[in-house]
Chain A
């Protein structure tokens, strides 16, 4: 063994106290980095898989807007910006069909609304249940996303109007209905929500004007592949025709909406109480007192937003779609009005390239559309893991700085104690490079030995955590873990990354002590001791 290695190793053993301090810091650093990164990676991979497999696909194509567009619409400050309808839909579909790497695709419209059973004994929306409405072509959608298990009922048929709700929403509907009846002094023990039950949906539109539709439940399902907390438990699947009507998407951009006096009056209201008292808007009083249009509360919603009062342009579009469906046209192509095209690619490694290919094709065709990955589609949910990782990285940097200071001080003390030894070596003819190498070998030895010890410990911890699983004890963790528990898996990248980072920290910590050692003059050999 070369003399430098011998000296380095024996010095580490000789000064075992200091070696242990530095070594434990190195090993702990490796453990924290590997375990932390494994947790982050596993969580991120889980979130990615949950979204890709269940809701976003590999690629989401949308129109463009000022704010970023996710599957939940446009993210904007201070209001609901309308989600843009895909422009030149037929051209987009042609490009998608011509893109070889795309395996399957479907379409979607997203809206938000409140729902409650259509029951004459219940009124107002204070006991309504919030829902995210996904309007999609059922067959291609559920072929792409195996995210529901039908408990009762069946999937929506093309052209059929109806609603598929989750068990979570069904339970909420039941609870709220019982409460609403109790408010009316009607005591019921249960209010079973079953297939066939008519549900009143009060849609939330970007222009602030509510839109109401009543549709039957065709299915109650359990969500699979993704857990509560991520937001998808709020999702209800609705036929796209109804959702278009709720969102008034079938109206041309230039079409004028004719408002009657009472509607105009509603828009003129400026008092906060008037604007935000939704019970006033949807309550019995509002619906019933339609004969007094001079009162704000007297606004008649019976004639607003209901199918019967739908503008002729919209009705004509829906009729055309129904006719196309009757002729057996691909349901995805029966209408030109969609918010998103969601696609999966055959080879996951080709996702980025495919997105680039699509965006280039859109640019060349002059289509104002954009393709993005699951992170774009998932919007704020996707950034959760990134935020946590950023916090983790900042913590690691802080811990790293503290570790460098502790290691540096320990090493400076070690150098001071060895001043005579280093001076003697210099006097005997050791060049500065020899002294530098000696300390580098010590760093290398300590990093290797304790780094590997750290790796072994980290793998042990990850193994145990994988075996027992880390339970998600709250909604935040459920979102972060993309499931009820996290089973971390160590990756080669995290192991190698951990070792490299700790080695770099070790080297940084050595810079100053080694510079002190290199400044030791041979005369110190006789001045000390």
Chain B
């Protein structure tokens, strides 16, 4: 069974007297452990689809299924709980809490839900993730003391801390130079491989698109390509 499915999803935004059709009947499925790129030019509907998958926006029409459950009928409290348990977010602008240091930012999502681990277990796991993203030396630094690449690494660690099934990354390399961007994508790929976490990221950078093993290409709110790389291709 697919972990996420979109069925004939439409999203229309009102804009003054007119309306903008951001997504025009999109359907696709995502399997567990996928490393997916949603590609397309600006305005093609990439971010809108990611937002609907991440339950921070709702479709005007159609259905978003997460593990077979339609998200449309859920209350705000249930949706928030689902996001917390199931999804990790990596934002284009990093969106770290400015008053918290690296450790606290990574730990933050753990403190939003029910306590399932002891303080020492929590600290150990957060430190493990910080080490994984290569920021052990920056553990006690605030976001404004970090570079863009470092901030995005913190965001990745934060997205992974609740051990989500899916991590959504909306143009994670857009605010980074190409070298740093590639390193970030490589890091995401490694985590995808090591932890079997599904990664869905949007980008309009062709060089990054090719790293994904499942590419969904959009144009004018429609899927124009839904291509899964063969296992043989994966190694290249």
For A6, the chain B residues whose CB sits under 8 A away are 99-100, 104
Which residues of B (162-184) have their CB < 8 Å from a CB of A? 162, 170
The answer to whether B57 touches A428, judged by C-beta atoms less than 8 angstroms apart, is no
A298 on the B face (CB < 8 A): no
Interface centre among B93, B97, B108, B158 (most CB of A within 10 A): B97
The answer to whether A429 touches B57, judged by C-beta atoms less than 8 angstroms apart, is no
Main secondary structure of the interface of A (DSSP, over half): helix
For B162, the chain A residues whose CB sits under 8 A away are 429
In the complex, what residue of chain A is closest to B95 when comparing beta carbons?
A424
Instruction: State A421–B96 Cα separation when bound (angstroms).
Output: 8
A425 on the B face (CB < 8 A): yes
**Chain A: minimal CB distance from B164 (Å):** 10
The answer to whether B83 touches A428, judged by C-beta atoms less than 8 angstroms apart, is yes
The answer to whether A3 touches B84, judged by C-beta atoms less than 8 angstroms apart, is no
Q: Which of A3, A11, A434, A525 contacts B56 (CB 8 A)?
A: A525
Q: Which of A11, A420, A424, A428 contacts B99 (CB 8 A)?
A: A11
Instruction: State A11–B80 Cα separation when bound (angstroms).
Output: 24
A475 on the B face (CB < 8 A): no
The answer to whether A429 touches B80, judged by C-beta atoms less than 8 angstroms apart, is yes
The answer to whether B80 touches A420, judged by C-beta atoms less than 8 angstroms apart, is no
Contacts A14-B99, A526-B47 given; indicate if A426 touches B91 (C-beta within 8 A). no
Stretch at the interface among B32-40, B109-117, B145-153, B222-230: B109-117
In the complex, what residue of chain A is closest to B81 when comparing beta carbons?
A429
B77 on the A face (CB < 8 A): yes
The answer to whether A526 touches B170, judged by C-beta atoms less than 8 angstroms apart, is yes
Instruction: State A185–B91 Cα separation when bound (angstroms).
Output: 105
Number of interface residues of B (CB under 8 A): 31
For A14, the chain B residues whose CB sits under 8 A away are 98-99
Number of interface residues of A (CB under 8 A): 25
Q: Which of A431, A521, A529 contacts B95 (CB 8 A)?
A: A529
Instruction: State A526–B100 Cα separation when bound (angstroms).
Output: 19
Instruction: State A434–B81 Cα separation when bound (angstroms).
Output: 13
In the complex, what residue of chain B is closest to A13 when comparing beta carbons?
B99
The answer to whether B89 touches A427, judged by C-beta atoms less than 8 angstroms apart, is yes
Contacts A3-B108, A429-B83 given; indicate if A420 touches B100 (C-beta within 8 A). no
Instruction: State A434–B113 Cα separation when bound (angstroms).
Output: 10
The answer to whether A429 touches B100, judged by C-beta atoms less than 8 angstroms apart, is no
**Chain B: minimal CB distance from A412 (Å):** 19
The answer to whether A425 touches B97, judged by C-beta atoms less than 8 angstroms apart, is yes
The answer to whether A429 touches B109, judged by C-beta atoms less than 8 angstroms apart, is yes
A80 on the B face (CB < 8 A): no
For B80, the chain A residues whose CB sits under 8 A away are 426, 429-432, 522
The answer to whether B56 touches A430, judged by C-beta atoms less than 8 angstroms apart, is no
Contacts A521-B56, A523-B51 given; indicate if A429 touches B99 (C-beta within 8 A). no
B137 on the A face (CB < 8 A): no
A7 on the B face (CB < 8 A): yes
Q: Which of B57, B84, B85 contacts A523 (CB 8 A)?
A: B57
In the complex, what residue of chain B is closest to A433 when comparing beta carbons?
B77
Residues of A at the B interface (CB closer than 8 Å) are 3, 6-7, 10-11, 13-14, 420-421, 424-432, 434, 521-523, 525-526, 529
11 new A-B contacts, CB < 8 A, other than A6-B100, A420-B95, A529-B95, are: A3-B108, A7-B97, A421-B95, A427-B56, A428-B109, A429-B81, A429-B83, A429-B109, A431-B81, A526-B47, A526-B95
Residues of B at the A interface (CB closer than 8 Å) are 47, 51, 54, 56-57, 76-77, 80-81, 83-85, 89, 91-93, 95, 97-100, 104, 107-109, 111-113, 158, 162, 170
**Can you pick out 21 interface pairs between chain A and chain B where the beta carbons lie within 8 Å of each other?**
A3-B111, A6-B104, A7-B97, A7-B99, A14-B98, A420-B95, A421-B95, A427-B54, A427-B56, A428-B112, A429-B83, A429-B112, A429-B162, A431-B77, A431-B80, A431-B112, A432-B80, A525-B56, A525-B91, A526-B92, A526-B93
